[in-house]
Amino acid sequence: MNEKTPERDVYVAIADPTRRKLLRLLAEAEELPLHELTPHFQMGRTAVSKHLAILKEAGLISDRKVGRETRFRLNALPLQEIKDWVSFYEKFWIGNVALLKNLLEEE
């Protein structure tokens, strides 16, 4: 990214269900070109490309040219920030689930 365009926030990038689906598709495949990603969505190539650009700005995907086609690949490293944030709150979930379990066992 350059000075005029700061990197996009990872949380903003994954907030959209389309982008989360793109990440899942890329996680399941080593690398995919746009023409293989587009059929998974009810939108055109241009719209899918815009979502890919947002993910790229957040550092969640990388791309490379192979001939005339661009192939996309997941870069999961920025997701570590989200994992760390969610992990902090895990203690609350574990405590509430244990409490619920105890309540259900009493009844």
What is the arrangement of strands in the sheet containing 61-66, beginning at the earlier edge strand? 32-33, 69-74, 61-66
Provide the greatest CA pair distance for the chain.
66
pLDDT digits (tens, 9 = 90+) for 22-73: 999 999 998 999 999 999 999 999 999 999 999 999 999 999 999 999 999 9
**pLDDT number for residue 50:** 97
